[in-house]
Structures are given as C-alpha cells and as structure tokens.
Amino acid sequence: MEEFRLFLIGASAGGRAAVEKVLSDLPHDTPAAFLVVVHSSFDMISSFSSHLNKKVEMEVLESREDLEIQPGKIYVCVPNQHMVIKNGKLSNSNGPRENLFRPAIDVLFRSGAVVYGNRCVGILLSGRLNDGTVGLEAIKRCGGETLIQNPKTSEFSGMPQTAQKFVEIDYTADLEKIGDQIKKIIEKPLPEEVKIPYSLKREAEISTKIRSQVRTEEYLGEQVPLSCASCGGPLWKIKDTGITRYRCHVGHSFSEESLLLAQNENLEETLWVCLRTLEEKKVLMLNMAENFREKGSDHIARSYSDKIEEVDEHIDRLRQLMDIKD
C-alpha cells in the first residue's frame, strides 16, 4: 500500500468520453487507484459512475464520506460536491467553489498532492478554461508527476494547453496512448520524496472548510483592490505560485481568466436587472398618467410625458449596449 500510485483525473468539456477511453484501457487488477472529477452542473443527476461501470474492468464507486481508497478501483465525484482526501479516505465537501466550479479539479489535485505526495499522478484531459493547472502545479511541488492529453488532438484544448504553458509537464500523450503511459508510470520507481509545502496544506484545509478566514488569506497572499465575483468580499492575490490567482476569505478561488468570466456574468446579470427595472418604471408611470387623465388632471398627466420619454431613452441605450433587438 505504501508504494501504490494514486492517479487523479480531471476533465471538463468533452471529458466524459475521454475519461471512459483512458480507463477502459486498464485491466481490473491495476495496482493503482483512480479518482475522477468531471465538471458538471450543480443540479445534474449523478449517473456517470454507473455508466462507467459498464465500460471498464475496474470497479467504479461514487465518492462518499470516509470511503477508503483502494488499488484497483475508480472513484468518481458527485455533482455539487468537491471530492477531497482526508487521512487517506475520501470526503465530500461543500467548500467554496474554485474557478466557478464545484466539484473543482484543482481542489482534488491539491488535496491528493498534500496527502500522497510523490505517489500522486495528475492527469488533465479535454476541457475549456484552466481548472486543473493550479492543481498540477501543486502535485509537482509535492513530488508527484503530471500527464496531460495532447492539446493538439484534444476535443477541447483549453485546460491541457494552459497547463502546458504554466507547469513543467512530465508526459503528454494522445488520448489513445494515455492508458499505455499510465501502465509505464506504474512500472517505474516512485519519484524522490519531498517535503509538502505548508502553504499547500493551508489551501487544502480551506477546501475542506477546516480553515476559511481572513488570517489564513493574509498568510497565503496580499489583499488587492478587487472583490470576489461570487460573494463580493475582498480578494487576496495568492503568492508562492507561478500562476496568478485570487482567493477571498470565504474561500472562493479564481484564476485571472475565471475571475474575468465571473465579472462578465455578474455585469450582464446587473444590466438585465437594470433593464427590467426601467421597463417596470415605465409601465408604472404610464398607469399613473392614465389615472390622472381619468380624474381630469391633464396637466399632471402631461408632466409624466417628459419623464416617460427620459426612461425610454435610458431603455434604448441599455438595449443598444446589450445588443438587444426589438
């Protein structure tokens, strides 16, 4: 058990088929455990594990609290729960989202790196954006190894390509060759054991809600004049990493790209609220003007005409800004 490998697999868009292909190439007696996170919507029905069980030789289990990790088995995350490792066992966490996702790949990778160190291998498959890059960096810092799907042949190249840019990747392979590469890694001696960085331990604790406070964030980085796109709280720029990213004291974590995406979504939502409010204001003033006319107060009713025209102008400008056609 001290020598067995832990393979952590992360994927997003196009990832389910990729995960199935990788794991279907491995025999039932593979002397390693496999933990899988594939991005999903929070309200998605958990069915990937049952599907995968029909396609691969190894037993596939859904992540659940205090489930012991054993070689020759595959463990799959459940929707809206981070999959983390505590004391050599699985745990499902409602911890804060990272890069807008829960479950997040970075959370699993960091957790596995801290607990298993040089026995940990991170595999990043097809997906958009950049979740998983920080996690692969954590695995490298803890003495583990990294493998990515070839971005040139991935269905969606964003995740493996970003990882390739920021992390010194040990192995890059086309999807059809990843199973063979896993077998070669298992046959090799373990990499040299290294001391686990304390900062990574602290971040792993945030994901499991053991720590999540201002004092922890100040240890991990410096506060910057930006606010969290999820909760509105202040952000700290994380130090001790080659990848620019931010975390709030609640624990939400963002890469620069995911923070910008979240800000854009928040801005669009705010604009829709503004448009709806203006439309309702116009309806209310039209009703008030009509009521005054019915009561014979034409001069008061006319006073609303200018106000309604002003609201119409604001609505038109907002529609142009949002590129909404009538």
Query: Active-site positions?
Result: 12, 39, 131
Cα-to-chain-centroid distance, residue 291: 53
Burial group, residue 189, by CB count within 10 angstroms (0-12, 13-18, 19+): exposed
Q: Which amino acid is at 258?
A: S
How far is the C-alpha of 122 from the C-alpha of 181, rounded, in Å? 13
271-to-23, 230, 265, 316, 321 alpha-carbon distances in Å:
45, 17, 10, 13, 9
**Closest by Cα among 166, 157, 172 to 126:** 157
What number of other Cβ atoms are within 10 A of residue 57's Cβ? 14
In the numeric block, the tokens 């503004």 are attached to 274
Helices and strands (H and E) in the chain: how many: 10, 14
**Closest by Cα among 147, 85, 159 to 122:** 147
Residue 315 corresponds to which tokens in the numbers above? 């609505």
How far is the C-alpha of 76 from the C-alpha of 263, rounded, in Å? 30
**Closest by Cα among 124, 167, 113 to 147:** 124
**Closest by Cα among 135, 265, 138 to 194:** 138
Instruction: For the chain, state the CA radius of gyration.
Output: 25
Strand pairing report for 120-124 and 73-76: unpaired
Residue 29 corresponds to which tokens in the numbers above? 């007696």
